[in-house]
Amino acid sequence: MNIATRRTVTILAAVLCVVGMVLAMVFAPRFFTGEPEASYTPASAQLAADVQPSVNDLNPDAPMPDPAIFATQLDAILADKPDGTKFNAQVVDVETGQVLYDRNSTANGTPASSLKLATAFAALDTLGADTQLPTTVLLDGDTLVLRGGGDVLLGDGESDPGHPKGYAGIETLAQQTAKELKKRGVTSVKLWLDDSLFGQAQNNPDWDKSLYTTNNIAPVYPIARYAGRSSENPKAGYQSDAAQSARQAFAAALGQEIQVSEGGRGAYEGGEQVAQVNSAPLREVIKYMLLVSDNYLAETMGRHVAVAKGMDPAQAGAAVASVAAEHGAQGVALSDTSGLAAVNKISPAALTSILRSAATSDKAGLRELVYSLPVAGYNGTLMQRLGGDQTLGMVRAKTGSLSGVATLTGMTMTQDGRLLAFSIFANQPNGSLAPHKPTIDQAVTAIRGCGCRG
């Protein structure tokens, strides 16, 4: 087993003993998409002694599952259902790339939020895991320019390095700005909003109107508070104009010391930078996005990939697809980068290709992608799934749910110590919400429990 693969699986064993996250919080359920409520466990939490699963040390010479035995087990679970539900799936050995199970895996389907895995990969590969997104303030005469650099996790208070949401604080930015303005003897400014980074790509024509009314998404801007929500409350509604809300919050904070009136809006050339706050490193932003399946963040990341590749931000889906293609994912056709659009097309084989490419990459930031996925029975959107003795703490995966669609893409180890990547799609033609999640979980449990040798 190569070094990159060993590093990828380290976290899978580590979570057996001590598990934790820094903050406890709850995100609103995804009504339209059917994504489960995401939640966190305090850092002090430990698995109860009587339910701690055991696992053999990883063995570079661990036997490979017999594909024929594997197929017998998984075909029985993933057989077509009486309600018309059909499954597409692939299981791949991470070290060798050998396909161990294939059920029409190259056929494109609707990925739902499993697509966020491709978006995360593209962002980390294109921008780099250490990248921080700036929010800057520039002064040009009596015009003060608030320029969004793509950080949509701004908090109202002072910058808080303890969490990606609020890592950069509007209060801190206002304090820096007021200090610099006073040095220059400026007591009154007109506040201009430069939210031009993403052009006119605020919405997507392939998003169903119900996505807006059910609090799944809002117009996307390159500057926002709390991932586009109206307050720090994770159940708060999305804002129709998150950029304007950020300007208003900044104006209120700055107005405690400087007289502020509203100026124009749009791209602004010129000015001297007087203040700046930066987002959390991209690796932390991506981890947060994947844990809670945040649509607004995913759309932001896709637009960043497009900008970095010199494409129109409205072509974010195509930009992510192009990065995926560079790493072996074939036939990908994407309208958005969150998975909300039902017209997105990607196959289970493409997703396992992306996952394996990340796990074996020579870029540390890409290898970390696997570590950022929710852990079975513990956190994020897997908090209430795969919590049985076989799978608890031993599966990392990204969920996906839309009307008529359920998907799960991730990694686990066999009982013999082989690290496997998997992707499973369920599609029900009558459009029931997220069909047959238990069947998918049963299949993943079988993958995890596999010895599968003759």
Whole-number Å distance between alpha carbons of 317 and 339: 10
Claim to verify: residue 297 and residue 414 sit in the same structural domain: yes
**Which two structure tokens, joined as six digits, stand for 394?**
């031993």
The pLDDT score that the predictor gives to residue 401 is 92
Q: Which amino acid is at 135?
A: T
Whole-number Å distance between alpha carbons of 305 and 312: 10
Residue whose C-alpha is closest to residue 384's, from 111, 77, 33, 35: 35
Claim to verify: residue 300 and residue 157 sit in the same structural domain: no
The pLDDT score that the predictor gives to residue 233 is 77
Claim to verify: residue 169 and residue 228 sit in the same structural domain: yes
The pLDDT score that the predictor gives to residue 47 is 42
Q: CB within 8 A of 37, min separation 6: which ones?
A: 26, 27, 28, 29, 383, 384
Claim to verify: residue 164 and residue 247 sit in the same structural domain: yes
Claim to verify: residue 437 and residue 343 sit in the same structural domain: yes
The pLDDT score that the predictor gives to residue 204 is 96
Last residue of a domain, one of 242, 259, 280: 280
Q: How many domains does the chain have?
A: 2
Last residue of a domain, one of 260, 280, 300: 280
Q: How far is CA 372 from CA 12, 94, 327, in A?
A: 11, 17, 19
Whole-number Å distance between alpha carbons of 299 and 204: 10
- On whether residue 95 sits in a domain, the answer given is yes
Task: Give the three-class secondary structure for 424.
Answer: strand
The pLDDT score that the predictor gives to residue 235 is 76
Last residue of a domain, one of 280, 299, 332: 280
- Which of the 8 DSSP states describes residue 279? P
The pLDDT score that the predictor gives to residue 157 is 95
The pLDDT score that the predictor gives to residue 429 is 87
Instruction: Print the domain residue range for 403.
Output: 3-128+284-448
Claim to verify: residue 309 and residue 444 sit in the same structural domain: yes
Claim to verify: residue 172 and residue 310 sit in the same structural domain: no
- On whether residue 454 sits in a domain, the answer given is no
CATH number at residue 18: 3.40.710.10
Whole-number Å distance between alpha carbons of 58 and 415: 10
For 358-398, what is each residue's pLDDT tens digit?
999 999 999 999 989 999 999 989 999 999 999 999 999 99
The pLDDT score that the predictor gives to residue 236 is 86
Residues of the chain with confidence (pLDDT) below 70: 1-60, 454
- What's the distance, Cα to Cα, between the start and end of the chain in Å? 23
The pLDDT score that the predictor gives to residue 57 is 54
Task: Give the three-class secondary structure for 245.
Answer: helix
Claim to verify: residue 203 and residue 56 sit in the same structural domain: no
46 and 390 Cβ atoms separated by less than 8 Å: no
Claim to verify: residue 150 and residue 273 sit in the same structural domain: yes
